[in-house]
Amino acid sequence: MSSPEPYPFAFYRALHRGTEGDVDFYRRVASGAGSVLELGAGDGRIARAIAADGLEVTALEASAEAVEAGRRGHHGDRVTWVVGTMERFDLGRTFDRIIAPYNAIYCLTTKEAQAACFSCAARHLSPSGYFVFDAWSADAFHAEAEEGEPGEPEWVDEVVVEGRRYRVLESTRWDRRAQFLDVTYRYEPVEGGEPVVARIPQRYLLVAEIEAMLAEAGLELVVVHGGFDQHVWDEDSERIVVTATK
């Protein structure tokens, strides 16, 4: 999770709960590795699950609030926590697996920041290691959606935060040329009161640009899958799951 404006973590966690199957997928990715680094780890939902399997896990996260929640979480004491940004970190060592689950790369809002993240990953990846990340598949959206200012907010969910129930509305501003989305979430208390408003700006990737960006960072694309079942990606896929190595 990364944003230029703080997104209250309790509200973030209540709504953004991961993608079905991602925990088991990344546990399989990590299987047999001596060390794992998760980028944009949040409260370590995935890092803690991997650590519970007995692996050495480091979690990098920009939000100190999220890191503190992760430390308190189940198996949080098995993870090495680092407060830092994905595009600018130096941990002084390498890892057998580096992972960036759940759209983390998109939360870097410029191509330059994403390229810097890939370069950091390359420097921290062991010679026989793998860098794996997933995100929603943007190619069809990029080709077909209508660009412009946000329309009327749309209902997305109801969540409970600290004992209060909120209705969550979402609106999105999109810039096709920049591959940029600015998503606003409005949490309206069901029983009345002041809403909580938070944003997640994103710069999405198109599959055609991934290989070149990885290569510029010193990484080699292995495969782009279309889901955690590892079927071949096409424009109808809902996700991209990218694997790279040195």
Output the DSSP codes for 171-191: EEEEETTTTEEEEEEEEEETT
Query: 9-137+206-245 adopts what CATH topology?
Result: Rossmann fold (3.40.50)
Residues 73-105: b if buried by 16+ CB within 10 A, e if exposed: eebbebbebeebbbbebeeeeebbbbbbbbbbb
Report residue 134 as tokens: 């997933």
The domain segmentation of the chain, as residue ranges, is 9-137+206-245, 141-202
In this prediction, the residues of the chain whose per-residue pLDDT falls under 50 are 1-4
Cα 15 from Cα 187, distance rounded (Å): 10
In terms of phi and psi (left: phi > 0; alpha: psi -120 to 50; beta: otherwise), the region of 3 is: beta
The answer to whether 47 touches 106, Cβ cutoff 8 Å, is no
DSSP letter, residue 90? -
Give the model's pLDDT for residue 150: 67
pLDDT at 101: 99
Q: Would you give the distance in Å from CA 11 to the centre of its chain?
A: 16
* 37 residue type, one letter: L
Calculate the CA 56 to chain-centre distance.
20
Q: Is 44 helix (H, G, I), strand (E, B) or coil?
A: coil
Can you give the pLDDT at residue 1?
Answer: 40
SS3 assignment, position 217: coil
| Per-residue pLDDT, 146 | 74
Are 176 and 138 spatial neighbours (Cβ–Cβ below 8 Å)? no
Q: What tokens appear for 8 in the block?
A: 């209250």
Per-residue pLDDT at 2: 40
Q: Provide the pLDDT for residue 149.
A: 66
Question: How much is the pTM?
Answer: 0.95
